[in-house]
Amino acid sequence: MPNLSININKIATLRNSRGGNNPDLVKVALDAEQFGAEGITVHPRPDERHIRYQDVFDLKKVIQTEFNIEGNPKEQKFVELVMANTPAQVTLVPDAEGQLTSNHGWDTIKHQSYLKDIIAEFKAAGIRVSIFVDPSEKMVEAAKTTGTDRVELYTEAYASGYHEDKAHAIKPYIAAAKMADQLNLGINAGHDLDLHNLQYFSQNIPSLLEVSIGHALISDSLYFGLENTIQMYLRQLK
């Protein structure tokens, strides 16, 4: 059964919209763990529009499950933040500054040399590394040469095509996952996974180790409550 890591960026967005500390980001993370989450994910960005750098330090002190920090390592402050907090996992995402949300994976051929260097730096600090990739066999194959431990399959295309033709939508992900398996790369996945499409994805990617879900899960919790929502997502992964 894949682990469920909950991205709490949207909780930080809500907090920041009014100032103060309501909702309390740290308490939400601790509650999520108590309710069954097997990891907590944050994606700090340079403008700190949701997760603030201080949040990462505060969360590191209390997280009992896996702590996953996502971001673009070309931002030196991000690298320093990760090194100062040594999470269980760092997920490298090629976001541009000011980007609304992640919308593509690494070109692991074009950026291979750079990725090798930065991944080696994180691994030397004892941090597991995952890199965000599109569902492309050649990108997964080139990812292996970077030294990464895992790839995170960017699932927006799957989610967009799921309702029209789920078998067609999942096809490139199955191929990419088979390539990762052959290369002994761990497989994570994330972006737009929700209660409708998660089970089918998990069933068709049997070697899936972890999903990172934020926006849909937090939105669902407005209707179902956080504890119940987390249990609903966990049931989709069984």
Q: Report which of 34, 3, 11 is spatially closest to residue 188, judged by C-alpha positions.
A: 3
- Per the CB < 8 A criterion, the answer to whether 1 and 238 are in contact is yes
DSSP 53-85: HHHHHHHHTT--SEEEEEE-TTSHHHHHHHHHH
- Between CA 187 and CA 209 the distance in angstroms is 6
Tell me if residue 91 falls in helix, strand or coil: strand
- Which among 38, 66, 152, 191 is annotated as catalytic? 191
Tell me if residue 132 falls in helix, strand or coil: strand
Tokens 């919790």 locate to 221
Q: What radius of gyration, in Å, describes the C-alpha atoms of the chain?
A: 17
* 191 is known as an active-site residue: yes
- Which among 33, 38, 66, 70 is annotated as catalytic? 70
* 50 is known as an active-site residue: no
Beta-strand relationship, 89-92 and 128-133: parallel
Residue 23, preceding bond cis, omega within 30 degrees? yes
- Which among 43, 50, 66, 152 is annotated as catalytic? 43
Q: What angle do CA 74, 17, 217 make, to 5 degrees?
A: 75
- Between CA 115 and CA 130 the distance in angstroms is 11
Tell me if residue 129 falls in helix, strand or coil: strand
* 164 is known as an active-site residue: no
- Between CA 235 and CA 238 the distance in angstroms is 5
- Which residues are known catalytic residues? 43, 70, 191
